[in-house]
Structure 1
Amino acid sequence: MLKTVNNKNNKDLRVLNWWQGAVIYQIYPRSFCDSNGDGIGDLKGITSKLDYVASLGVDGIWISPFFKSPMHDFGYDVSDFRQVDSIFGTLEDFDELLTRAHALGLKVIIDQVYSHASIECDWFKESRKGPKGDKSDWFIWADAKADGGPPNNWQAVFAGPAWTWCSLRKQYYMHNFLPEQPDLNLHNPEVQEEMLAVARFWLERGVDGFRLDATNHYMHDPELRDNPAYEGAESNKPFDMQDQIYNQSHPDITKFLKRLRALMDEYDAFTVAEVGGRRSLKEMAEYTEGDDLLHTAYSFIFLEEDNLSADAIRKALTDWESQTDSWPSWTFSNHDRKRVVSRWMRGQNRQDFANAMNALLLALRGTIFMYQGEELGLQHADVPFERLVDPEAIKNWPDTLGRDGCRTPMPWHNSAESGGWPSYTWLPIDERHYDLAVCQQENTQASNLKFTRDLIAFRKQHSALKAGSITFLESDEPVLAFIREGAEEKLLCVFNLGEAEADWCAEAYEGEILLPLMGAGPDKPLPVCGGYIMKL
């Protein structure tokens, strides 16, 4: 029996845009490559490793923020949206990076942070002077309650109220994240015009698109109504105890996104939204519906999934395609969540499990985002408390590991060379990562790195994987089975996601095994971390 998922998007590969079915490699600049020996990665470092990135076979790169910032949230608190922070280099360094990437055939996507700025931003410094200045309404200000308390009950993502008192202006300002990240007031047309001007600045430099940070945080309820409690909240963080109805997800967000899309179309540029929260699927569909909104979006649906299951994969893809015709995007790891090997592995061999996860991710229908180090099968790094720098981890210790463990420096060389970094780095390199360094894996015939290269090449060679429909087949846990079908081919994809051998009957299918995992085939039990892709 078949469970069919949306076949109406089954298009010939040749008519798709470059980003549909593409593999985009995420670079976290602080931790990718250090060119000047200060222990912090930089733009020149990225440029020096673009040949490596291109050798993976990916279609483009997404670079996390490198803009001028006091680094309270490591670049997501922007003080100047048109400048490169000096720790990363200069605008000229970025232009050189862009030129080299394009010469290698790589598209360049950069972050844009429109929901908030930094307290060091000149706009905020002007706004806090009082209610009558040129930028008085560029941020979200409100009077205290009669008892001196904040205007409402909204809570910040990282911890504490979403309001901080400003003694200069004698009002509270809103921040969905850190107090050092005041929320911009995108209800204000002037603010919208400024953010569109920022976008045009980078588009004029030649970037190929934007990853839009925290898109559903762009606008709030102007009436500042209290959020209701969220029944059944499993977390003890105050933010999670509320249903975020009013501090985010305002319906006017789509009006701004239409303006942004119109600008992007002038440059034939690409947009992918980050959408988190309990209504992420609904909002992703809203933000990407039709031809005048964003191109695609991704959520934290897999990033926040603690346990891997066939049902979780099926449900995510079927839920998406049941709500929208828009193009999906998927990722298993990024700079905000625990690495997939450490999050989902349950007793399997690390190398085999990493290979299986990359094979599964690259077999899904959609645009694929692969975080730096996933091609090496890196574990989530162990960062001792005294070396933590992530404000979320520090504020919520020990309830959360925070984000430092997925942000440690990329290991380029073995321990004798300090992983390709100076002896002291902004975050420590996990000792386990030295054996997984790029130089080690380049010199090993059967490595995660070489297998990932083969996987990406395999995806490019098969139009059904890049552009075809997806049809899930009946299977019991822990087996996931689906068919990818394009205009020219049909592929059966089968994966054992469990900790022991598993059976799945493939008698109804005959064909040629194109990609075996752990020697798996249709005529024998699926080994642990095993599976196959078969041409029907």
Structure 2
Amino acid sequence: MSFLDPTVASDSAIISDPDWWRGAVIYQIYPRSFQDSNADGIGDLSGIIHRLPHVASLGVDAIWLSPFYTSPMLDFGYDVSNYRDVDPMFGSIGDFDALVERAHDLGIRVIVDLVISHSSDQHPWFKESRSSRDNPRAGWYVWADAKPDGSPPNNWLSIFGGPAWEWDGQRMQYYLHNFLSQQPDLNFHNPDVRKALLDVTRFWLDKGVDGFRMDTVNFYFCDAELRDNPPLPDASRSDKIAPSVNPYNFQDHHYDKNRPENLEFLKEFRLLLNEYDAVTSVGEVGDAQRGGEIQAAYTSGGDKLHMAYDFDLLSNEFPTGERVQAAIAKSVGLGPDSWPCWAYSNHDVVRHASRWNLSDPAQRVYMALLLSLRGTVCLYQGEELGLTEAYIAFEDLQDPYGKRFWPRFKGRDGCRTPMPWNSDLSNGGFSDGKPWLPVAMEHIHSAVETQDADAKSILVFYRRMIEFRRAHRALLKGRQLPVEADQSYISFIREHDNARVFCAFNLSDEDRGVTMPDGAWRIDRAAPFRAEEDGDAVTLPPWQALFAVVGD
């Protein structure tokens, strides 16, 4: 296997800055699909280590590793059977230690996915819990008796389709699973469960991780009384969290998640994190109706999560200027001490280049917009290459979600296909074996080495735009002031101390005149865009952005 020369170094080493996460750019790595080092067709930790120079070359601050823990892999690592070890397909705990050391040498922090709302049914905790109703861990999962007619305890639904309850013939009770039936939900009402999960958190902190991405953070607690969810009116239904073919969208999920008890656990969690130097947390808030409200509650006060994200910019709805401004306004409304996290793509949604049908110029201006918002930014592996959603034939499908709702919903495999590294090598340089998902042929021409050699490539653009962001503290830490927004345009000002940056984005195929704010503004030509000046008049060509500065 041939790898890129691992000589790239960061322009700064890891330093102790408790505020590093504010304005950071985080690069998500899906380990199965990043780089295979042993020809088994599955990416691994050694492969990630070899490819970290590419990540460092982007100028990002941290990586977020999707799950690598021991797992039956029915949901590809989001069903954990051992929270304190690495699954052999990804390597060993020693490989993880080496990854953290190499990342830190390159100035990159390491955030790991913490999947604690549920475990695998193969976890020893669940095996003991299901063995009887009076064993030491009998109350570690959410168990309930059947109704007199044998039906489930209530009407709660699984995100993966069907009831959220599975009958267990050994214990003669139902257990709750918000996802696959093989992913039983832990009972957070039990203090022993909370303590065990905090001990898991401490284990990884002691391993040197710099933070956690909290999977399904609003699912931790369910209603202790197991009350039915009310129906949701048709007009309020949304496919932000589940595809439109899924009846999950028919309910107002008031009792199966989003419970107020979660706030106290998040405070316990934050107290633990505060024992360590410069670590952070970002919560995934999965709710279509009250995501902003939950974000505000979970990140306010400085005693819970550091930041959180919902699905505003991960949804199918096209991000017009007005819609982006509405998302910005909502984030500002979270409160002065709340900090949002933004993303267009991740391992659960169709890649945004395809989801919104973006041309290459449109991808560039939308990425510049993302990198200009107040908040932290998550990038998903491959989006720096402009990758589109891959087509996966049914016979190659791996995702149980896609298999359940095919063909109306094709699942998540299309955004999880392997990274293309070299167009001249088999499987794009990802693996010498048969990849676990096919390498998309349309991705091969976008390989990293091909784009490295092209000064006009979207990869080079990403590097330049991230560098531009890092050069302006107002873009990293500053507050955000709206100026103008309509269907095809948005502008705002970022402000920090005496420095101000005016940001304007033409989201259309036509020229757009820009009205500059009052003041001695000058266009910053270091940004990888062009604007046309004629006296006091400024015109933005199609799919272009403008950055003007004033002050220090």
TM-score, shorter chain, exceeding 0.5: yes
AA at the equivalent of 1:85: D
Structure 1 segment 134-149 matched on structure 2, within 5 A: 134-149=136-151
Tell me what 1:101 maps to.
103
* 2:472 matches 1:462: yes
Tell me what 1:497 maps to.
507
Identity of aligned residues (%): 47
Structure 1 segment 382-531 matched on structure 2, within 5 A: 382-414=391-423, 416-420=425-429, 421-506=431-516, 508=518, 510-515=521-526, 519-521=530-532, 523-531=537-545
Q: Contact (CA 8 Å) 1:521, 1:531: kept in 2 or not?
A: no
AA at the equivalent of 1:332: Y
Tell me what 1:356 maps to.
365
How big is the shift at 1:16? 7.2
User: Which piece of structure 1 moves more, 485-494 or 181-190?
Assistant: 485-494
Taking structure 1 as reference, are residues 463 and 384 closer, same or farther at Cα in structure 2, changes over 3 Å only? Answer: same
* 2:35 matches 1:25: no
How big is the shift at 1:333? 0.8
How big is the shift at 1:225? 0.6
Q: Contact (CA 8 Å) 1:382, 1:405: kept in 2 or not?
A: yes
Tell me what 2:325 maps to.
314
After superposition, give the CA deviation of every residue in 1:105-156 in whole Å (9 maximum; x if it has no partner). 1110001011000011011010111110011000011111111111110000
How big is the shift at 1:34? 0.6
Tell me what 1:535 maps to.
549
AA at the equivalent of 2:522: G
Pick the aligned partner of 2:129 from 122, 127, 131. Answer: 127
AA at the equivalent of 1:148: G
Higher-RCO chain (CA-CA 8 Å, sequence separation at least 6): 1
AA at the equivalent of 2:548: M
* 2:259 matches 1:247: no
Pick the aligned partner of 2:73 from 71, 74, 93. Answer: 71
AA at the equivalent of 1:225: R
Tell me what 2:212 maps to.
210
Structure 1 segment 83-94 matched on structure 2, within 5 A: 83-94=85-96
Tell me what 2:5 maps to.
none
How big is the shift at 1:521? 3.6
After superposition, give the CA deviation of every residue in 1:426-465 in whole Å (9 maximum; x if it has no partner). 1111111111100100111111111111111111111110
Structure 1 segment 137-176 matched on structure 2, within 5 A: 137-176=139-178
Tell me what 1:338 maps to.
350
Q: Contact (CA 8 Å) 1:494, 1:532: kept in 2 or not?
A: yes
> Distance between the aligned counterparts of 2:541 and 2:143, measured in 1?
59
Q: Contact (CA 8 Å) 1:258, 1:293: kept in 2 or not?
A: yes
> Distance between the aligned counterparts of 2:540 and 2:471, measured in 1?
25
Q: Report the secondary structure of 1:206's partner residue.
A: coil
> Distance between the aligned counterparts of 1:54 and 1:174, measured in 2?
42
After superposition, give the CA deviation of every residue in 1:394-424 in whole Å (9 maximum; x if it has no partner). 1111222321111110111105432112352
CA RMSD of aligned residues (A): 1.6
Q: Contact (CA 8 Å) 1:141, 1:171: kept in 2 or not?
A: yes
Tell me what 1:181 maps to.
183
Q: Report the secondary structure of 1:62's partner residue.
A: strand
After superposition, give the CA deviation of every residue in 1:266-317 in whole Å (9 maximum; x if it has no partner). 0132111110112111111111111211111111111014212011111111
AA at the equivalent of 2:175: Y
Q: Report the secondary structure of 2:26's partner residue.
A: strand
AA at the equivalent of 2:510: A
After superposition, give the CA deviation of every residue in 1:375-411 in whole Å (9 maximum; x if it has no partner). 1111111111211111111111122232111111011
AA at the equivalent of 1:482: F
Taking structure 1 as reference, are residues 175 and 304 closer, same or farther at Cα in structure 2, changes over 3 Å only? Answer: same
Q: Contact (CA 8 Å) 2:36, 2:44: kept in 1 or not?
A: yes
Give the number of aligned pairs.
520
Q: Report the secondary structure of 2:341's partner residue.
A: strand
How big is the shift at 1:237? 1.5
> Distance between the aligned counterparts of 2:353 and 2:512, measured in 1?
20
> Distance between the aligned counterparts of 1:427 and 1:520, measured in 2?
42
AA at the equivalent of 2:221: M
Q: Report the secondary structure of 2:28's partner residue.
A: strand
How big is the shift at 1:15? 8.8
AA at the equivalent of 1:275: V
Q: Report the secondary structure of 1:289's partner residue.
A: helix
After superposition, give the CA deviation of every residue in 1:34-68 in whole Å (9 maximum; x if it has no partner). 11111110000001111111111111111010000
Q: Contact (CA 8 Å) 1:24, 1:61: kept in 2 or not?
A: yes
> Distance between the aligned counterparts of 1:534 and 1:524, measured in 2?
11
Pick the aligned partner of 1:38 from 12, 37, 40. Answer: 40
How big is the shift at 1:158? 1.1
Q: Report the secondary structure of 2:512's partner residue.
A: coil
Q: Contact (CA 8 Å) 2:465, 2:528: kept in 1 or not?
A: no
Q: Contact (CA 8 Å) 1:518, 1:527: kept in 2 or not?
A: no
Taking structure 1 as reference, are residues 16 and 360 closer, same or farther at Cα in structure 2, changes over 3 Å only? Answer: farther
AA at the equivalent of 1:344: W
Q: Report the secondary structure of 1:318's partner residue.
A: helix
How big is the shift at 1:357? 2.0
> Distance between the aligned counterparts of 1:497 and 1:228, measured in 2?
40
Q: Contact (CA 8 Å) 2:129, 2:139: kept in 1 or not?
A: yes
Q: Contact (CA 8 Å) 1:61, 1:109: kept in 2 or not?
A: yes
Tell me what 1:9 maps to.
none
How big is the shift at 1:515? 4.7
How big is the shift at 1:516? 5.2
Pick the aligned partner of 1:220 from 219, 222, 225. Answer: 222
AA at the equivalent of 2:505: F
Q: Contact (CA 8 Å) 1:308, 1:497: kept in 2 or not?
A: no
Q: Contact (CA 8 Å) 1:209, 1:271: kept in 2 or not?
A: yes
AA at the equivalent of 1:495: F
